[in-house]
Structure 1
Amino acid sequence: MASDTTCGYPDESIRPGRRAFIKCALLAGATGVLAGVPLLSYVAAPALKKGTTRWIDFGPVDQLKPGGIEMLSYEFMVKDGWLVLPQRGFVWAKLDSPGKITVFSSTCTHLACNVIWRKEKGIFECPCHSGQFDINGRPIAGPPTKPLVAWAHKVEEGKLMVLMPA
């Protein structure tokens, strides 16, 4: 049976000391940190990535009717973390004159419901809380206080290109 002074080690010379234990623990901890930081950044990076934008092709500009509001739909693939998912939706395009185009987001600025163009009333209407916007996207009734977002756009080779978040 081993004596109490050697803690179960038959020979005092092979019993590890406190300094050796602390040195081993510090080396193991440093190794864990050095290996863990790159691993953690690899795992967390997609969640911390800033949103990007991309130009979406909405087709020929000559299909837009002057003085009218047209609903234009889109679909593209977007990477969300490790998943690649379809992004679908629509925008409202207003052609005042050839070359004077405004592209509005379809999202209400109150609680992000989709607004609908009511041609007979000449307004955009949010069905969720009866918010209303005029033909220029400014709020005129209901809870919304901010205008509809107007997306940046350009005409390239006769096609309407809209800068959208991706």
Structure 2
Amino acid sequence: MKRGLKVLGKVFIGFIVLIIAVVLGFSWFVKANNKDYGDHNQILKSERQNAKKALVVYQPSRGKTTNKIAESLAKGINQSGYEVTINYPGKHMSKDISQYSIVVFGSPVYIGQTSTTLSDYMKSIKISDTQKVLVFVTGGELSNGELDKVETQLGSRKATEKVGFKNGEKDESKAYEIGKKIGAE
């Protein structure tokens, strides 16, 4: 009987340790998605004189999938003749985005949640009806309306295009083509 209670006690303690590890793991992912990574300003110059401008704002992901998708979208838009500014969201970003004809917002999805840092930035800006807006998310499972969650941060404005990219798929060429397409429209 005593031995059975000891085994049961060890199983119970093991279960508690496992629960704590899972909670800590989840909080690590969520924290990364809500962190302000600071200024990461990059500009892809256009070969055209007086080129239109585009802005790509994305929350970086741990596995760099979101980064690769954002950079591929930016390269496609740039190939269409735009000067493209790429940056992470945060307090360092200007709230005046009126000079951009195209605005792209991207977020990784961890545990069904998109980036609050990106959401906060999106809520702080005004987007005109003449600007094209593309929103994208990356994640292992995209089935909880994550694209709609990001789009709601635009207020009453609807995205010109919404795209979900699943982790593990080689979507950089697809992102590049989507960037070219939105830049050509």
Q: TM-score, normalised by structure 2?
A: 0.29
Structure number having the greater strand percentage: 1
Q: Which has the higher contact order (CA 8 A, sep 6+)?
A: 2
Structure number having the greater helix percentage: 2
Larger Rg: 1
